[in-house]
Structure 1
Amino acid sequence: MFWTSRGNIKLFLTASLALHIVILTALFFPSEKAHDLLDALAVQQGSTCGICQFDPELCEELGVDNVQRALSYVGTNARLRRVLAKLRRGERLTVGVIGGSVSRGFGIDREPGYTPNTPTNLNRIVFDRLNSLFPAPNGVKVGESGRKENMNSYISGAVGGVGTDYFSLCYGEHLPDDMDLVLIELAINDEVLIRNINSYELLVRSLLDLPNAPAIMNLHFALNFNTITNGGDMHLGIAQFYDLPVISLRNAAYRSVLQNESLIPEYFFVSEKGEIDTRHISRKGHNLMGRLGAAYIETQLCEMEKFVASIPGADSMTIDQLYPLEPIPRMQVNMRYDKDVVIPTIKPQCFPANGKKNPLVPVTNEGWRNWNWKEKHYLISDTPGSRVTFNLTTAIGNIEIHYLRSYQYNLGSAKCWIDEDVDKAVRLDGYWKEHYNIGRAATIGSNLTPGEHKLTCELLNETADPSGGKEFRLISVMSI
């Protein structure tokens, strides 16, 4: 069976052109010269399922070599092909997005805004390409799963200013369990810290264990945070171990930017004042990143056609026979090897300040209040001595909180403890010297007995802020 697509037409034309070159070379060049030219052609053509076959304009814009550099890790694509095989057999598609303010859409328009569902958003570009290839009878549902209504679905769970330490425990607050494909854009939100290796691994293990065994694609970009190196570089080794494709706009564009800095205002958001924000890509940046992801998926459909064509009776085989699902490794990479350890399925609890499924509701509250800036929500206090308490249940003994750190918001300090262990309280400073503002997770209790516990936080009079700021912003409390 030959599956008709725009990509197949391009593939046919490319193969036809290559065949004509082979014939002309053999006719008009001496045999040794012809051999050399044909070898060079073979190298140039490479795979007949390359990105340039499916989006030649993208390759012309970025350059063929730069598009190749964007493919940070390819792997087997076993899970992605399994999902695509289901779509080819008529099943519905649910795509979820895990990301920060970039995926929220900050920087797509000239005026700052959050537009996670617009067709110009990088993640929506990937979804729309899939939806055009495999449309659902009843159309598209945005914001929640439409599987029961026989619809394809796109759900953005992106939250600005947080990274994998938040999403590893809180993704379920923002996304449904029936996802088929998860797009992760958190390279820039994660700092270059060893702890983010662990939080990214916890995140992908939890996602891979969801009921529909979803595929994961990592979409990386960055130019300027603390360094050009970013959390995506910490994620890469974990992605390789779990066989998760990684596509990086940074790797595709950074060399060109170094040679021609006039490209920066093209790729990144420019404010009304003319200030360039190199932490948020522009509409063009979204377009390039989204098209890289979309074309990459088409390359996998192309490879699947070749694979299926090589197997007699493939049309009568089940998805499990063609694309068997490998078990999740019994241990994390970020652990010492142990022949007996088996990591259980991770089922975290998360109570964020902007929670809809599980809102952050204290059992006792003296002096804390809800507050938000645009779509960033917090439980805050600015009165020293104010206390707030939450009830949590833990299965493996860890309780964490997520709070804001900033150099410019005059943030104060708090201490938090478990049950009655005030003497074991952990001090948390909202102020720091890093020149960016971001949520940070902190472990308040570990190796706790499974079951119910109390988490209490108190605003301190002491503060690390040089100007004496007292306000503390709590984002969420979590347990596993």
Structure 2
Amino acid sequence: PACAVNSTLLQTYGRHALRLSRVHEGSGYRVQRALDRLERGEGIKAAVVGGSVSNGHGMSSDGVPFVYGAVKDTWHKVVSSWLNETYGPQSFVNGAMAATDSSFFRYCWAERVRLGEVAPDLVFVELDVNDVADEASRQNVEVLVRSILNLPNKPAVLFVGAFALISLRGPLLPALMANHTLKTPWFNGDSRHIATPLHKALGDMVIAFLQEQRCLLDDADITLPGDSKGLFVGADLVGEVPPVRHTRLMRDKWDATVVHPSAPPTCRIAGSTLEPASPSPNWSIYSFREVKTYLETTGADRTIDFDVNVQPGSAGEIGVGYLRSPQYHLGRAKCRVGSQEKVLDGNWTRKASLTEIDIVATGLPPGTHRLVCTTLDKGKAFRIATVVSA
């Protein structure tokens, strides 16, 4: 393929709009490593970590709102088609899951992208619709990305979305502010989820970025000599993950001895791999529109338990992912592991309905531990989506 951004993309969006879509590009080193594999015909595995946007949530063609799969040609299908057409068939896993944010994927990304089969070489992260701009979300994203980047094969991570590192906001927000009628074709009545034209635009902007990175391969030091040194980053540091968390880099005291978990998190999901340890006749599988699945019960004193494995090299944490929403008349449950316990409240004041993960126990040694959850409120439902360890 030619070393240039496709002329059709340049004519459609313009060079300046494409540049405005890049909030932060980084060094490009790991992306170029993945592209180098493609250029040599080795093939790669790409994966998506995301929410309902990546599952095509939006208004259906006949005007029904909030339909999952309403957008058939999602942004990542645009990217996948380009990879296949340019380099031949590639492995591409859509690990997106509706009603989730970074607190879910911090623990469940490996399960969703099928890490146990083959490690990904290129991971697209799309979580900016459901994440809120607070310290908890920043820390969740930090741990999520660090966990992916620390895989032995050193994959590349690209943030994609309406407000992410490859973003629609820069090039398209000024146009929307100048012409409010664009909200109809761009969002089609759903203010949280982009419609087909913006999925196409986002996919094209990712493609343009990858095409530009490919052009840098001729000059890139994909394999640096062992004695290569730069003023700041030498061969031993290029593409490596710094030990200090980026979200607190300018506030924390420097600690070169900090150790991060070496084992990927484990996650079992209701309706798939999550099974109670003991018979739980008061709990049953509940599926919402066949895209959100939970273990659900209604009423107080309903107990369910799980055996959870904590791996060597992990942080020794066990948590529960459960539905939180201002709707559905949701109640509370008390979950415990040994002497540690936490009350989880399914009701909150945020407008969104999301699976949130709360950590119940910390400092646990490797091995199998029993997690027990008991509901607290009469007449109210509680829905468990996942059980995790990290």
Selected match of 1:198 from 139, 148, 152: 139
Aligned alpha-carbon RMSD (Å): 2.5
C-alpha separation between the residues in 1 aligned to 2:176 and 2:361? 45
Q: 1:129 to 1:117 in 2, by over 3 A?
A: farther
1:402 matched to 2:321? The reply is yes
Alignment of 1:241-260 (within 5 A): 246-260=165-179
Which of 373-382 and 331-340 deviates more?
Answer: 331-340
C-alpha contact (below 8 Å) 2:271/2:294 kept by paired residues: yes
Secondary structure of 2:295's partner? Answer: strand
Q: 1:277 to 1:474 in 2, by over 3 A?
A: same
Offset of residue 320 of structure 1: 5.7
Corresponding residue of 2:262:
345
User: 1:397-454: CA deviations, max 9, x gaps?
Assistant: 21111111111221111111112x3xx5322221122212111111111223443322
Corresponding residue of 1:149:
none
Corresponding residue of 2:380:
470
C-alpha contact (below 8 Å) 1:392/1:479 kept by paired residues: yes
Offset of residue 69 of structure 1: 2.2
Uncovered stretches (5+) of structure 2, i.e. residues with no partner: 229-234
Larger radius of gyration: 1
Corresponding residue of 1:283:
196
Corresponding residue of 2:97:
159
Offset of residue 334 of structure 1: 4.3
Q: What is the TM-score normalised by the length of structure 2?
A: 0.86
C-alpha separation between the residues in 2 aligned to 1:94 and 1:392? 29
Amino acid at match of 1:249: L
Secondary structure of 1:207's partner? Answer: helix
Alignment of 1:116-195 (within 5 A): 118=72, 120-135=73-88, 140=89, 152-177=90-115, 178-195=119-136
Q: What is the TM-score normalised by the length of structure 1?
A: 0.71
Offset of residue 393 of structure 1: 2.4
1:210 matched to 2:151? The reply is yes
1:59 matched to 2:10? The reply is no
Offset of residue 116 of structure 1: 9.9
Q: 1:176 to 1:436 in 2, by over 3 A?
A: closer
User: 1:455-480: CA deviations, max 9, x gaps?
Assistant: 11111126xxxxxx601111101111
User: 1:34-77: CA deviations, max 9, x gaps?
Assistant: xxxxxxxxxxxxxxxxx5856123324xxx54433211001210
C-alpha contact (below 8 Å) 1:58/1:291 kept by paired residues: no
Q: 1:408 to 1:108 in 2, by over 3 A?
A: closer
Corresponding residue of 2:231:
none
Structure with the greater relative contact order (CA < 8 A, sep ≥ 6): 1 or 2?
A: 2
Offset of residue 94 of structure 1: 1.4
Secondary structure of 1:425's partner? Answer: strand
What percent identity do the matched residue pairs reach? 29
1:360 matched to 2:274? The reply is yes
Selected match of 1:105 from 42, 50, 56: 56
Offset of residue 108 of structure 1: 7.6
C-alpha contact (below 8 Å) 2:18/2:208 kept by paired residues: no
C-alpha contact (below 8 Å) 1:69/1:251 kept by paired residues: yes
Secondary structure of 2:158's partner? Answer: strand
C-alpha separation between the residues in 2 aligned to 1:84 and 1:52? 16
Q: 1:331 to 1:195 in 2, by over 3 A?
A: same
Corresponding pairs, count:
366
